[in-house]
Amino acid sequence: MYGYEQTLADYYSKYELDVGQVQDWPVEKINWVTDELQAKLIPPIQNIFATFKSNLDATPQPQAG
């Protein structure tokens, strides 16, 4: 868990947000993700779901009835 917090701290500290004290963040920042972090995380997540969708599309579906 420490490595995860430390990595996030690098992204959020620029905005004066302490990941160890999320309870003190302004309400509008609770679900906020920095642009830098989005750029790093979104492409791999999109790839995972694209592969998942491709696998679903390739799987024969049972016929109703």
Question: Three-state secondary structure along 4-25?
Answer: HHHHHHHHHHHHCCCHHHHHHC
Query: Which pLDDT band holds residue 21 (cuts at 50, 70, 90)?
Result: very high
State the pTM of this model.
Answer: 0.63
pLDDT at 3: 77
pLDDT category at 29 given cuts 50, 70, 90 is very high
Which conformational region is residue 16 in: left (phi greater than 0), alpha (psi within -120 to 50 degrees), or beta?
left
pLDDT at 59: 83
Q: What is the DSSP letter of 59?
A: S
Nearest-angstrom CA–CA distance, 14 and 62 = 52
- Higher-confidence residue of 57 and 63: namely 57
pLDDT reported for residue 2: 64
